[in-house]
């Protein structure tokens, strides 16, 4: 699956899993209420439930993502999805892309800054947050990074290389 298709899938899944009851084939998704923090808004979307019948989409076993409003003591866990890259580019020679999979998550916030904590479940030799021009330089302690967002952003976090990125969609809350 190429990353344009992944992003299209994300745009499709976010409203389904984050806001309403939907039927997808044999699956009925009825999310619980999002967690909303007072004094500024932090919305953490609920788990989508059973993904076993959704082709090529699972809960990520590579990342743990947690968020909290700056100044708070407890983090809220974000559900992290994973999709495998099975797409082969036949136009440019038929070689598989180096990205073996991609994980993604989303949350929303406004009128506050948010601390993001990401745990990579393997050894982390390096980490890059893209786009580089956002200037996000995370603090790193082993395989855990933390950084603060002051406004909604869509970013890619790449541990070790670009073969298994984590796309983080920090959005403004729905109105």
* CA–CA separation, 15 and 18 (whole Å): 5
Report the CATH number at residue 36.
Answer: 2.60.350.10
Q: Which of 76, 102, 77, 73 is nearest to 87 (CA)?
A: 102
Q: How many domains does the chain have?
A: 1
* Structure token digits, residue 131: 């786009």
Helix, strand, or coil here: 140? strand
Q: Cβ–Cβ contacts within 10 Å for residue 157, how many?
A: 22
Per-residue pLDDT of the chain (175 residues; tens, 9 = 90+): 444 444 444 444 444 344 433 444 444 344 445 555 557 899 999 999 999 888 889 999 999 999 999 999 999 999 999 998 766 666 666 666 666 789 999 999 999 999 999 999 999 999 999 999 999 999 999 999 999 999 999 999 999 987 889 999 999 998 7
Range of the domain at 157: 3-171
Q: Looking at the DSSP assignment, which residues form a beta bridge with residue 166?
A: 103, 157
């Amino acid at each position: 699956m190429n990353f344009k298709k992944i992003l299209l899938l994300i745009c499709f899944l976010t409203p389904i899993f984050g806001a309403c009851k939907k039927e997808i084939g044999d699956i009925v998704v009825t999310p619980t209420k999002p967690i909303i923090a007072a004094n500024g808004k932090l919305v953490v979307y609920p788990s989508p439930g059973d993904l076993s019948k959704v082709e090529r989409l699972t809960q990520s076993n590579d990342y743990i993502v947690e968020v909290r409003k700056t100044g708070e003591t407890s983090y809220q866990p974000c559900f992290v999805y994973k999709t495998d890259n099975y797409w082969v580019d036949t136009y440019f020679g038929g070689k598989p892309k180096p990205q073996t999979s991609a994980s993604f998550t989303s949350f929303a916030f406004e009128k506050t800054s948010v601390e993001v904590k990401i745990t990579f479940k393997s050894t982390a030799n390096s980490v890059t947050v893209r786009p580089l021009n956002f200037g996000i330089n995370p603090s790193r302690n082993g395989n855990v990074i933390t950084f603060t967002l002051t406004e909604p952003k869509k970013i890619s976090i790449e541990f070790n290389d670009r073969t298994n990125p984590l796309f983080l969609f920090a959005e403004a809350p729905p109105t």
